[in-house]
Amino acid sequence: MKKHLSSAQQRAFNHLAWQTLGTAIIITGLFIPLTLSAQKIQATAADSVKGQGVIIPQTAVKPTYPRVVGYLSFILPLVTVTQDATTHNFSNGATSIGFPVGVNILYSDKFGFSYEFTPTIKFSGGTSKTSNILFDPGTMFRFQHGFTFISRLAFETSGRYGFTPVFNQVYARTKDVNYFVALSLPTRFGNSQEASIGLNLQMGFTFN
């Protein structure tokens, strides 16, 4: 019986994972044309200047630090696992979605600090409400090609606390904003509940 339940949970998780991947691909496809359009405009302007016989030196502008950038995003809790149960979002007639907003203080190309607040809205039984607010500051370890690992602490108004590893990737850039996607593993304790670990999908943009 336990093997049957484990297999059924695994199939449900795999199905949810494929659905999430498809959603992420669709949303990514909606944002990419914005980047391509901006690149096309820049290329057209450069070609016009070249046609006038003007040579523009290609010099990279190095950012100055410290630097402060803000960001907006939304986050979907995909699955939460405890010792006794596995809970999926969009199941049992209930759905939750969070809206992380924050500020990143970048000290160098390799390090920064992030302050984030996440109000969560829960939809259930034909009604909706703000069910929780999360404060999760953390250190940012920045790598090449837009990848960042963020180690966050977590403090929730629901009484839960813990930590959240975040794997963040910038996938599209424009003059004004950078678009990113992230996977996080919220690990929570406290408030007379079992310890839990989850998987979240986050998408949003930072202001340049």
Instruction: Supply the pTM of this predicted model.
Output: 0.72
Token pair for residue 81? Answer: 């696992």
Query: Which residue segments constitute the domains of the chain, with CATH numbers given?
Result: 67-207 (2.40.160.20)
pLDDT attached to residue 54: 54
Helix H or strand E encompassing 40: helix 2-51
Could you write out the three-class secondary structure of 105-171?
EECCCCEEEEEEEEEEEEEECCEEEEEEEEECCEEEEECHHHEEEEEEEEEECCCCEEEEEEEEEEE
Residue given tokens 């949303």 in the structure block: 27
Task: Output 45-53 pairs: Cβ under 8 A, ≥24 positions apart.
Answer: none
Residue given tokens 């960001």 in the structure block: 71
Helix H or strand E encompassing 49: helix 2-51
Contact 200, 166 (CB under 8 A): no
Low pLDDT (below 70) residues in the chain: 1-60
Contact 144, 176 (CB under 8 A): no
Q: How far apart are CA 30 and CA 181, in angstroms?
A: 13
Residues in the chain: 208
CA distances from 2 to 7, 9, 84, 112, 149 (A): 9, 11, 12, 45, 36
pLDDT attached to residue 59: 58
